[in-house]
Structure 1
Amino acid sequence: MKQAEKQLRKQAGPVMETADPSLTARIRDRYGDLTPMERQLADVILACPGELSGYSATELAGRAGVSKMTVSRLVRRLGYAGFEEARLAARRGGDWGSPLFLLPPGVAGPAQAPAPDAGLPPLEAHFRRSAEALAATARQIDPALLAQAARALAGARRIWVCGARNSAFLAGYARWQFIQVRGEVHQLAASGETMAETLADLGTGDLLFLVGIRRRPPAIVRLLRTAGERGIPTILIADSHSALEAPPPPLTFRCETRSLAALDSHVAALAVIHALAAELIPLTGEPGRARIRAIEDLHDQLEEL
């Protein structure tokens, strides 16, 4: 067990200690103080900030029609030690999943495909990338850990699912899967409620099922941290390539979400949640079957379907 936990923590990646103002935020904050040439350069960067990670200072200066010295002055004015530090900031924006940092120049459509997909029709390339995301995620999943998570889902007194932004619909999907075979699966927090009002009642007999795909709001990070401090068992569904802002729980499952577009793909996260539900069904035994029968009978009585 300890070895499996170590492996999952290794897969979970580094912990992000502090939140640094983004490259674009720094430019906006200082834009009024820039010289005309610096503004000309800043406008080029703001048009497609993610491109900065792929340029040298000389190339960027040429594209903006300014001198290399202007590039050096601007990055220092923005608070970076040098151009390489600014490039790293742009790369972090892409890793964090900002669509602005993932858009190609002047286009609001799909980003450029990596070499393996070159020459394929766009739709075929899209579906191939989805299949690759599923395969990459499958390679990262430890079957023993998945089985352990399913047992935790089956044995918990209550399950509380939570997610924000795109992760909210994934958490909702998890709840709809789990309630087919077991009761006491709740949303944290329900409409109009705060997290604290529910979290105060959670104990070690409960289970938090948290979906935290990249670009997590601070509230989700604080919830993860608080659950760890309170000893609340937690299953975390995360992406495979952004740093976590809090220590991940042992039951953390990383999913590949990068796509050919400026928006993330969530097919792998859905597949992991479905795999957990499939593992859960046999663990619920006859009570699970009885619940399914009762639900189907009520569907008929209520003429819902």
Structure 2
Amino acid sequence: MIAAYDGLTRRERQIADLLLDNPVLTLLSSASDLAQMANVSNSTMTRFVKSLDFETYDATRRETRDQSGQGSPLNLIGQRKPHQPTDVNANFSRKEAEIVENPFSNLDRNTIENAAERLVAARQIGFLGMRNSHFFSSYAHWQFVQFRPGTRLISGAGETSAEHLAGFNKDDEVVIVGIRRIVSKLRACIDILADSGVDILLIADSSSLSLAHRARWTTVCPIGNEHVFDSCSSVLGVLRLLAFIALQKTGDEGLAYMASIENHHDRLNEL
């Protein structure tokens, strides 16, 4: 669905957004019910199925069941369970756990492995996020800078994005976090990086999937829930996993770099 997202119409994207946030709906709902939930017509639903290269809606359901049987089980996210807890704390923690589990249940291991391997081998790496996504990119930068030299945050206080983007080329990788609400400048930055041959890993929710065609890898992290504020848990979890796998791939070199940092901390009496 991610690969086809950029070619979908606005109405078709309403269905895609619904399924990306709650993929189990394919198994639980009929085509008509799903169209109603997405606030689109049945004919739009039919065109959506065709856009995904399926002949019928039942074929999409079979594909979902097959994926579940091949080690990528879909959690019953969003499904009403009997005896729902009425306590707000219990309900909140349950929903938060579902949000965290969603990207990991549907995560393409090859995507993370290949992106992490490239982050280790690249000449330099960068982390880019704007508005509320800047927090996520800062967090990821903080993880990688502990074991990997040549790590840059795009951009810091008093700096322009252009000052950083000009230094990246085909030998580099940039991790871009695009979580709602994305700003128009982010699209321009991705275009500049992609045109320069930079490998891009996009961490996205449904609002930024229109950028996926310019990225080499894309991972979707739903953040919506029934509460007022978006959840950060799934994005932070995926970024932490990415850093953990990359650290493993650095081997002794990464550990030696970490030891060097600690040695400098001692000499400078910083901590």
Matching residue of 1:264: 230
Aligned counterparts of 2:101 and 2:258: Cα–Cα separation in 1: 31
Q: 1:185 to 1:230 in 2, by over 3 A?
A: same
Aligned counterparts of 1:138 and 1:243: Cα–Cα separation in 2: 19
Please say which structure displays the higher CA radius of gyration.
1
Residue in structure 2 matching 1:194, options 160, 171, 175: 160
> Does residue 1:142 correspond to 2:136, yes or no?
no
The percentage of counterpart residues that share the same residue type is 30
Matches within 5 A, 1:193-212: 193-212=159-178
Aligned counterparts of 1:258 and 1:167: Cα–Cα separation in 2: 15
Contiguous gaps of at least 5 residues in structure 2: 11-35, 42-77
Q: 1:84 to 1:152 in 2, by over 3 A?
A: closer
SS of aligned partner of 1:269: helix
Asked if the contact 2:2/2:209 (under 8 Å) is kept, the reply is no
Aligned counterparts of 1:267 and 1:237: Cα–Cα separation in 2: 13
Asked if the contact 1:259/1:265 (under 8 Å) is kept, the reply is yes
The count of corresponding residues between Structure 1 and Structure 2 is: 206
Aligned counterparts of 1:266 and 1:161: Cα–Cα separation in 2: 17
Aligned counterparts of 2:208 and 2:170: Cα–Cα separation in 1: 27
State the TM-score, normalizing by the size of structure 2: 0.68
Matching residue of 1:9: 3
Q: Cα distance, 1:295 vs. partner?
A: 1.3
Matching residue of 2:141: 175
Q: What's the C-alpha RMSD, in Å, of the aligned pairs?
A: 2.6
Aligned counterparts of 2:203 and 2:259: Cα–Cα separation in 1: 30
Aligned counterparts of 1:216 and 1:269: Cα–Cα separation in 2: 15
SS of aligned partner of 1:210: strand
Matches within 5 A, 1:32-181: 115-116=80-81, 118-181=84-147
> Does residue 1:236 correspond to 2:202, yes or no?
yes
Aligned counterparts of 2:253 and 2:244: Cα–Cα separation in 1: 16
Paired residue type of 2:177: V
Asked if the contact 1:16/1:245 (under 8 Å) is kept, the reply is no
Residue in structure 2 matching 1:296, options 256, 259, 262: 262
Asked if the contact 1:221/1:245 (under 8 Å) is kept, the reply is no
SS of aligned partner of 2:198: coil
Asked if the contact 1:9/1:248 (under 8 Å) is kept, the reply is no
Question: What do residues 25-71 of structure 1 show as CA deviations (whole Å, max 9, x unaligned)?
Answer: xxxxxxxxxxxxxxxxxxxxxxxxxxxxx9xxxxxxxxxxxxxxxxx
Contiguous gaps of at least 5 residues in structure 1: 1-6, 19-53, 55-82, 86-112
Q: Cα distance, 1:289 vs. partner?
A: 0.9
Asked if the contact 1:159/1:206 (under 8 Å) is kept, the reply is yes
Aligned counterparts of 1:221 and 1:227: Cα–Cα separation in 2: 10
Matches within 5 A, 1:211-230: 211-230=177-196
Aligned counterparts of 1:187 and 1:237: Cα–Cα separation in 2: 16
Paired residue type of 1:9: A
Q: 1:291 to 1:84 in 2, by over 3 A?
A: closer
Aligned counterparts of 2:3 and 2:185: Cα–Cα separation in 1: 22
Q: 1:181 to 1:261 in 2, by over 3 A?
A: same
* More relative contact order, 1 or 2 (CA 8 Å, 6+ apart): 1
Aligned counterparts of 1:294 and 1:17: Cα–Cα separation in 2: 52
Matching residue of 1:251: 217
Q: Cα distance, 1:248 vs. partner?
A: 4.4
Matching residue of 2:55: none
Aligned counterparts of 1:236 and 1:84: Cα–Cα separation in 2: 28
Q: 1:274 to 1:190 in 2, by over 3 A?
A: same
Q: Cα distance, 1:154 vs. partner?
A: 0.2
Aligned counterparts of 2:169 and 2:214: Cα–Cα separation in 1: 19
Q: 1:224 to 1:17 in 2, by over 3 A?
A: farther
SS of aligned partner of 1:244: helix
Question: What do residues 155-186 of structure 1 show as CA deviations (whole Å, max 9, x unaligned)?
Answer: 11111111112211110110111111110111
Q: Cα distance, 1:290 vs. partner?
A: 0.8
Q: Cα distance, 1:299 vs. partner?
A: 2.1
Aligned counterparts of 1:16 and 1:208: Cα–Cα separation in 2: 26
Aligned counterparts of 1:250 and 1:176: Cα–Cα separation in 2: 23
Q: Cα distance, 1:232 vs. partner?
A: 1.3
